[in-house]
Amino acid sequence: MSVLTSPRGKAEVVHCRRTEAQDIYCIKNLIRKFTQKLFGRLNVIYLLEKANLAVTLCNDKEEIMAQATFVDYPNWNVSHQDSWVSVFQELDSEIPCTPLNTLFLHLFVAVDEYSIGCCKEIIRTVFKAVPELHFIFLIVPSYMSLGSTLITVFEQVGSIPNLTYDKDFAVHICHRHNHYPQLHIRNARVEDHDDLMPIFLRHDTLLKETYGEYFLAELVEAQDEENHAVVCEVEGVAVGFMSVCSRVNMQLLHECFDLGPFHGLCIPHPDDVLQPPEELSIKGSQDAELGTSNLSSLKIVEEPREPVSPGALEGIQDIENLSQRSTMGDTNGSVSCLSLASVSLSEQTSDFRPIYKGASAAFCIQLFCIEEKYEARSLDFMNFVFSLFPEKNFCTISVPHLTPEFALIQNFVKIVPFNNCTLEQDLYVFHRAGLLKSINIRLATSLDTPGVENLVSTLMLNKSILEDLKQYSKARRHHDGTPMKAFVAEVAEQIVGIAVIRDEMDVEYIRSHYNIEDFIYFSHHQREEHGHLYHFALNPVFRHYTKFFLKEILRLGYKSCLYYPVYPQIREGKFQSSYAHSLTSALHYLVPVRPRRQIVYPLEKLGINAPSKAVSKDPLNYALNHTNRKLTLEPKITVNAKIVVVGASSVGISFLETLVFCSHLKFSNLTLISTHGLPGKNLLGTEQRKFLASDHCFHDKDYALMSLCSWVNVVVGRMTAIDRAAKHVVLSKKEIVPYDHLILCTGQQYQVPCPTGADISQHVTNREIPNSRKQRYTDKVPCNHFTLNDEEDCCKALSWIRDNSIIAEGNVIVYGNTIDTYTTVETLLNIGVRGSYIHLVRPPPTSTVTCINNYSVESAVEDALSTAGVTIYRDALLAQWNDGQYPDPIHSACFTAPTKPFRLTCAMFFSFCEKNVDYETFKALNDACLVYDGRLVIDTKFHTNDIAIRAAGSLTKFSNKYYSNEWTHSSFSSKEIGFQLAAAMLSLFDPTLEPVTEPPADLDQLIPMYKGAKIQGGILPGSYHYLHIAKPAIPIPLEVQMAQSNFGLEIVTGNAKDGTYFRIHINQYKMVETITCLSKEPFPASNYICLFGQHEQLLNNLCARYEDKLIPDLYRMQRILV
């Protein structure tokens, strides 16, 4: 906040922010004729689309006071955007302007009364926001004066001609040192104590309480050759402090962090052991081929596979060895995002680790503090502190991982910890060569090939990069004719980065399938301005120049947008070579783009009216990442909090999806603990997918479009304990996963039924059997017993069927009352199991509401089962396996019934009894003293009785204080629950959100009611395609619902047994409340789901047309509506 005073003495409190789309109207109103003479007639929307930085100044009422737009090339067409550097160097050789340190002012408008103050405030803010920036140029016609405002910050340095017509333009410059100068750094003195202590005490009083009031003076006095204290000063006053030490605990760092990319922060030594033994090397290469990451798949994207060789670096001049040995890692991760997904901790802890014999090449920052006003200039310390240790090439700093990333460490490289690391701090490293400002991005030439070969020699896709570079040098086009460009990053005549782009040819497909217009106005970008990033590798020493590299690619390549896809892995685990992209180390600096929901069109019936093939084609699905000119100087807020999600349920996936797609946030420590890793990685065929009914929250395509494995660390394992005091989760193999926020979304699973033990030879009935539903089966689970809960279970079941000749012979028992029993029976019939071999055994119901709750549908399914020869047993309880003998494998199963017990031979047993919380999960929760009452107890904000632990989904129930035991998260859409859980947590991390005010305790008495549809669907016996969409509700029999006075209108067409059944329930408010479909033919379920909650008039006056008998077939009508 700043205060501006007008010449009349009127004061305004102002602040700067990024320009937003809604500012455009006010900006146009501030444009005067004088503005047009200075900057030309401008399309403001177009200018903002192509600007690198646009700043708006607002008062405390959010009224716009001024706006300025900055671009990385000059206006008025005085030079081409890719060649302005040489023009301006000829203008004045004493001004060392480069693309890194220069921007151009393309527009400035302000309220006249405050224009001078506004101008100075915006200029100061821009220099603060872009630390590398040193010069801002302003180009105006030579006959124009700057006026009373701009003349206060700009001075003329010369004139240059226009490229298109004979007219000169004056060049004016604004220097950083006049507005936000670099800081003067010097050795600290004891006298600085009084200036610095207020700064320390504003942040923390712990040091003073621990070491006394004069700890800072004592630290300054204790300086020697190994310990130094330095300060930054402004006008003779110390405003920042840094204490550095050359003693670093290298042994601890080597044990806890993967420092291989930086040669262990040691000087190379002949006895260094950098490669695993021969027998381990072979196994390691196989693992690498699969692209297996360590704990952080996000970080492995950015880490090199070969170490930096710092010994050849004298000062910061020679980086040849560095560029040869250190580059951003490439593990084919973007070709197969899922290759980075699953991590087995026990395997990782046994990985080979290099042994370094050389002396330490690092010093550490022990203490750092700076006045907030000057924080953006924190990097100014580094030149001075490196000069204090001329033999050291690395600077390290460790900070508590919950500490927000401040300006200094944003220039450092965050080091990936090993899986067994228990330190509560993150390690950051900065290399001496990173201080170089002479980085130059240019188009590649054939002479760059040796340098690029050295750079990418350790990458798995180095051949692909070199082939594309060769193709560019040869033809400037890809083999398919697509224009392409290659760029290199050069420092001190060494190649330190390579990028290859092509023109994006699927622009229409991207626009129609992804929400790209969340980031750009598509109509203001020409087709040739869209680029496709194929390869990107950058030496990690220069990682902080990644955004600059991308900005230069856009400028030199005449592009305004770049796209980078992440493709899924195919089922066999091989890579899609035709889509081979090298893993981009720039992924962190791109934003993930949400996919758009697609309308399913009947293309054959639409004929010439169908959408173009460019839109309707169905290529390999991929997750899209994007950047554009507006984002090149847009900072991301890094969230280092360890957020651990237990359970890959729909709730957990929705929660992670919401966090990942927050484009202005970067969650660096998202971890998912799941028994089988991320779902969707197998790309199951129709046979496996049909075993279980679907809730239509996520499909395989959705997982491919999200590519969660690019952002989330996945730990394959089962939670067995929670240590709340130490804040870590214990897994089944005794590994631990630390957390700051623990999210429990394990849900409920089908359990192995516990036989009652009744002896059917005694002709017992159900009435004589004590209720054993609460009993848990504790013996060995038979090998031919299957409880299907996820895709992995379905795969195993199908494999077992085929490997054991179940199709040809052997009875299959399906035991349960849920809809999954129907879908499983249909799948068995579909794969060839004869109906006479299938026995559907239903235990006594626990509710008056059936799993389908629609008599018409149920009767059609029952008839189909009868026609197929499937035998149905009702109200039967499992009594024994193998007549009470050893149950593995199951050869027979005995059941009691209301009348006569029976015995069935059995080759395979499917159990779909009532779902419950897994015992290991329950034991972990109970042992952790989390309140458990049948389910894990939560409040309306998802909190358990531990503030650091939240839970959601069917695992949970609301606290009894809400008196709503019938309502649980199971009553609502899992996807919506996950979204709301993420929204509740984002207020902790996102500073752009308004603070959430907690309601008084006496008002927190109502549970939230979510509006999303509850959906179930699948393929039922008789090959009926089934879909049921309904509002969240307490289950009530359909007949009871229809008998209510406010039921509304029921519209039914077709017949269930014929497979043409379509039912829509319109409630009393004329809104679509329920949809039920049963069809012999597949139908576009996603289209029908969108009808839920719509008013009937939006459906072409559905009620009136039905009453007029104009709707004989709802399926046909919905196709027309689409």
- Which stretch of 169-173, 325-329, 538-542, 783-787 has the lowest confidence by average pLDDT? 325-329
DSSP string, 1021-1062: TTTEEEEEEE-S-----HHHHHTSTT--EEEEES-TTTTEEE
Residues 893 and 1033 in one domain: no
Give me the residue label for tokens 């009349």.
8
Residue 309 has pLDDT above 80, yes or no: no
pLDDT at 1120: 63
Domain boundary (852, 882, 916) is at 916
Residues 240 and 158 in one domain: no
Residues 164 and 19 in one domain: yes
- pLDDT tens-place string over residues 217-264: 888 998 999 999 999 999 999 999 999 999 999 999 999 999 988 999
Q: Is the residue at 526 inside a domain?
A: yes
- Which stretch of 583-597, 904-918, 985-999, 1048-1062 has the lowest confidence by average pLDDT? 985-999
Residues 133 and 149 in one domain: yes
Edge-to-edge strand ranges of the sheet holding 494-503? 440-443, 484-491, 494-503, 530-538, 561-566, 623-628, 591-593
Give the pLDDT mean for 46-72.
96
Residues 491 and 602 in one domain: yes
Q: Which residues contact 747 (CB under 8 A, 6 or more apart)?
A: 647, 649, 651, 953, 954, 955
Environment class of 1009 (CB within 10 Å of its CB; exposed 0-12, middle 13-18, buried 19+): exposed
Domain boundary (893, 916, 939) is at 916
182 DSSP assignment: P
Radius of gyration of the chain (CA): 33
Give the pLDDT mean for 28-40.
95
Residue 353's pLDDT band, with cuts at 50, 70 and 90, is: confident
Residue 305's pLDDT band, with cuts at 50, 70 and 90, is: very low
Q: Calculate helix-pair angle for 819-830, 855-868, nearest 10 degrees.
A: 30
Q: Is the residue at 197 inside a domain?
A: yes
Q: Is the residue at 848 inside a domain?
A: yes
Single pTM value for the model = 0.90
Return the C-alpha torsion angle 1063, 1068, 1073, 1074, nearest 10: -30
Residue 569's pLDDT band, with cuts at 50, 70 and 90, is: low
Edge-to-edge strand ranges of the sheet holding 728-731? 719-723, 728-731, 736-738
Give the pLDDT mean for 940-955.
95
Strands (E), 344-422: 362-370, 394-400, 413-414
Residue 837: CATH number of its domain: 3.50.50.60
**Is 1001 or 811 the better-scoring residue by pLDDT?**
811
Residue 409: CATH number of its domain: 3.40.630.30
pLDDT at 1003: 67
Give the pLDDT mean for 1043-1054.
93
pLDDT at 1057: 93
Give the pLDDT mean for 204-214.
74
Residue 302 has pLDDT above 60, yes or no: no
How far apart CA 687 and CA 702 sit, in angstroms, is 19
Give the pLDDT mean for 410-422.
88
Q: Is the residue at 588 inside a domain?
A: yes
- pLDDT tens-place string over residues 885-917: 888 889 999 999 998 999 999 999 999 988 999
pLDDT at 36: 95
**Is 495 or 311 the better-scoring residue by pLDDT?**
495
Q: Which residues contact 606 (CB under 8 A, 6 or more apart)?
A: none
**Is 397 or 354 the better-scoring residue by pLDDT?**
397
Q: Which residues contact 20 (CB under 8 A, 6 or more apart)?
A: 56
Q: Is the residue at 682 inside a domain?
A: no
pLDDT at 282: 40
How many CB atoms are closer than 10 A to CB 209?
10
- Contact between 50 and 525 (Cβ < 8 Å): no
552 DSSP assignment: H
Q: Is the residue at 258 inside a domain?
A: no
Give the pLDDT mean for 294-313.
31
Residue 169 corresponds to which tokens in the numbers above? 């333009």
Residue 420's pLDDT band, with cuts at 50, 70 and 90, is: confident
- Paired sense of beta strands 915-916 and 749-750, if any: antiparallel
CA angle 460, 461, 462 (to 5 degrees): 95
- pLDDT tens-place string over residues 439-475: 999 999 999 999 999 999 888 888 999 999 999 999 9
Quote the number of domains for the chain: 5
Q: Calculate helix-pair angle for 974-989, 650-660, nearest 10 degrees.
A: 40
Give me the residue label for tokens 């409040």.
939
Residues 884 and 823 in one domain: yes
Range(s) of the domain holding residue 103: 2-178
Which of 438, 428, 632, 413 has the alpha carbon at shortest distance from 541? 413
Q: Is the residue at 24 inside a domain?
A: yes
Residue 333's pLDDT band, with cuts at 50, 70 and 90, is: very low
Give the pLDDT mean for 634-654.
95
Give the pLDDT mean for 790-815.
86
**Is 494 or 1121 the better-scoring residue by pLDDT?**
494
Q: Is the residue at 925 inside a domain?
A: no
Give the pLDDT mean for 605-629.
86
Residue 449's H or E segment, with its range, is helix 449-456
Report residue 146 CA to chain centroid gap. Answer: 47
Residues 157 and 214 in one domain: no
Residues 191 and 79 in one domain: no
Distances (CA, A) of 466 to 460, 471, 491, 1031: 12, 8, 20, 56
Residue 665, classed as helix, strand or coil, is strand
- Paired sense of beta strands 936-938 and 956-958, if any: parallel
pLDDT at 635: 92
Share of the chain above pLDDT 70, in %: 90
Environment class of 454 (CB within 10 Å of its CB; exposed 0-12, middle 13-18, buried 19+): middle
pLDDT at 279: 52
Domain boundary (885, 916, 947) is at 916
Share of the chain above pLDDT 90, in %: 68
Residues 483 and 426 in one domain: no
Environment class of 860 (CB within 10 Å of its CB; exposed 0-12, middle 13-18, buried 19+): buried
Residue 618 has pLDDT above 80, yes or no: no
Residues 518 and 558 in one domain: yes
Residue 979 has pLDDT above 70, yes or no: yes
How far apart CA 171 and CA 154 sit, in angstroms, is 9
Residues 430 and 445 in one domain: no
**Is 1120 or 147 the better-scoring residue by pLDDT?**
147
Give the pLDDT mean for 80-104.
93
Q: What is the average pLDDT score of the chain? A: 87
Residues 225 and 88 in one domain: no
Scanning 304-416, the segments in alpha helix (DSSP H) are 320-325, 345-348, 380-388
pLDDT at 575: 38
pLDDT at 165: 82
- Residues facing residue 1014 across a β-bridge: 1030
pLDDT at 289: 31
- Which stretch of 32-36, 596-600, 934-938 has the lowest confidence by average pLDDT? 596-600
- pLDDT tens-place string over residues 176-195: 999 999 999 999 999 999 99
pLDDT at 325: 39
